[in-house]
Amino acid sequence: MTPRNPLAPWGTTRMAPYAETAPVPALTPLIDPETQIAVIVDEHGRTVELGTHGTSTSGVTPTSTGGGDGKGPGQTAPSDADSHESYDQDQSSS
């Protein structure tokens, strides 16, 4: 049997119009032909500074274990393998 007046889903009872926002100026990314570095320009062609950021490196170093369990030659021992990830980040100024 279908109810005559089904309840609205919970999420739709919480909906409301979006708040008013200020317009965001148009920015365009370009490559500087001399330095080959990306720059951002505004609608008037002026370079816009978006802040600074640091650099980081990340690498995965595999590790493995196995053998050494006292078994004789020709007998294989189970091995265990995993990896260790390192992450190094430069300090950046805000």
> What are the tens digits of pLDDT across the range 24-81?
888 999 998 999 988 999 989 898 887 776 666 666 666 666 655 666 566 555 555 5
pLDDT of residue 13: 81
Q: How many domains does the chain have?
A: 1
33, part of any domain: yes
39, part of any domain: yes
Structural domain harbouring 30? 24-50
11, part of any domain: no
pLDDT of residue 51: 73
What is the Cα–Cα distance from 28 to 41, expressed in whole angstroms? Answer: 5
CA 63 centroid distance within chain: 25
Q: 3-state class of 40 per DSSP?
A: strand
64, part of any domain: no
Nearest in space to 37 (alpha carbons), one of 26, 25, 45, 49: 49
- Is residue 78 a contact partner of residue 71, using CB atoms and an 8 Å limit? no
pLDDT of residue 31: 93
37, part of any domain: yes
Contact partners, residue 7, CB within 8 Å, separation at least 6: none
Strand ranges for the chain from DSSP E: 28-31, 38-41, 47-48, 56-65, 80-89
